[in-house]
Amino acid sequence: MNQSNYQQQSERPPRREGGRGGSDRGRNFRGKNQRSRGGPSHQDQQVKKQRTSAIDLTKYIDKEINVKFAGGREISGILKGADPLLNMVLDQATETLRIELDQETQTIRKRAVGLVVCRGPSVFTISPLEGHEEIENPFFEATE
């Protein structure tokens, strides 16, 4: 071994323990912005904000409303209670089924369902029946 090669080896930083390569696997190392896999982090321990609803349903309690659900169901009834996640309780509820026979004709069937608990995440629209009327579709062109 010549003199210059020996000096280069001695100037190298000492090797890390733990075998070959620079892998941090198996060690207790956490890089930047990485949480431990254990319990909740400091941010999770802070007080969580109370969820607020985008719509205030308290003004519609004891009034008749119409609720449309994802999937096409439609129920109208008297609102008895609601929470911030839009879970609702309707009394004297009736379900309206709209069955399309063709593009132009449809059959409307109603059935009484009584007391209903509506699950908030499946609610699509909520509208009061008072002051509500159905209008003709202005974009529908009648073909003769």
Determine the pLDDT at residue 134: 73
| 73 lies in some domain | yes
| 82 lies in some domain | yes
Range of the domain at 91: 57-128
| 80 lies in some domain | yes
Q: How many domains does the chain contain in total?
A: 1
CA distances from 50 to 18, 53, 85, 122, 142 (A): 48, 10, 11, 21, 50
Determine the pLDDT at residue 131: 75
| 100 lies in some domain | yes
* pLDDT in single tens digits along all 144 residues of the chain: 555 555 555 566 666 665 565 555 555 555 555 555 565 555 555 666 666 667 788 889 999 999 999 988 999 999 999 998 889 999 999 999 888 888 788 888 899 999 999 999 999 999 998 876 777 877 877 665
Determine the pLDDT at residue 97: 86
Determine the pLDDT at residue 126: 92
| 48 lies in some domain | no
> What CATH number should be reported for the domain holding residue 120?
2.30.30.100
Half-sphere exposure of 58 (CA within 13 A, CB side): 6
pTM: 0.54
What are residue 17's phi and psi, to 5 degrees?
Answer: -75, 160
For the beta sheet containing 106-118, the strands, ordered from the edge strand earlier in sequence to the opposite edge, are 106-118, 88-100, 74-82, 64-69, 123-128
Q: Is 7 left (phi over 0), alpha (psi -120 to 50) or beta?
A: alpha
Q: Which of 62, 60, 65 is nearest to 126 (CA)?
A: 65
Q: Which of 109, 91, 92 is nearest to 100 (CA)?
A: 109
| 143 lies in some domain | no
| 23 lies in some domain | no
Q: What angle do CA 140, 124, 63 make, to 5 degrees?
A: 100
